[in-house]
Amino acid sequence: MKLFAPTALVATMPAFATIFPSPVTASAAVEPDHLANGCAPLAVVLRLAMAQYGEAPAFVATAGTGVVVTLTVNAKTGTWTMWGQRDGETMCLLTGGEGWHSAPDAVKGIAPAGRPS
């Protein structure tokens, strides 16, 4: 089971509003090595995801609310983490888990790419 280290990632968020607290501020000389309130600068988040879980970005999309959603995955272990970004500098943990894998061909055949329903 994928468990988040308390000093590095926040495993659960009690309410959606807490997912996007005020941006993390850091001195230019000292970059944090963990999340604060579930958030950190983009580079820190991506470095932590890779260092702790071997996860790399798999996709980036913009939600209707303007929040940029990034999914980091480790294709070998199946761990995944979903991040939200409300500005160009700060990413916040949304959720994470295990069991990530590519969609099977049978599922892809239901709605082939490039053919909106």
Is 11 a member of any domain? Answer: no
The reply to whether 110 falls in a domain is: no
Residue 106, domain member (yes or no): no
Other C-beta atoms lying within 10 Å of the C-beta of residue 69 = 16
User: Could you list the pLDDT tens digit for every one of the 117 residues in the chain?
Assistant: 444 433 333 333 333 334 444 444 444 445 666 788 889 999 999 999 999 999 999 999 999 999 999 999 999 999 999 999 988 889 999 999 999 988 787 777 787 666 565
115 backbone dihedrals φ, ψ, rounded to 5°: -125, 85
Residue 41 lies in a domain: yes
Residue 63 in any domain: the answer is yes
* C-alpha span between 22 and 88 (Å, rounded): 13
Q: Is residue 7 part of a domain?
A: no
The CA–CA distances, whole Å, from 89 to 40, 45, 75 equal 8, 11, 26
Domain count, the chain: 1
Q: Which domain does 56 fall in, by range?
A: 16-100
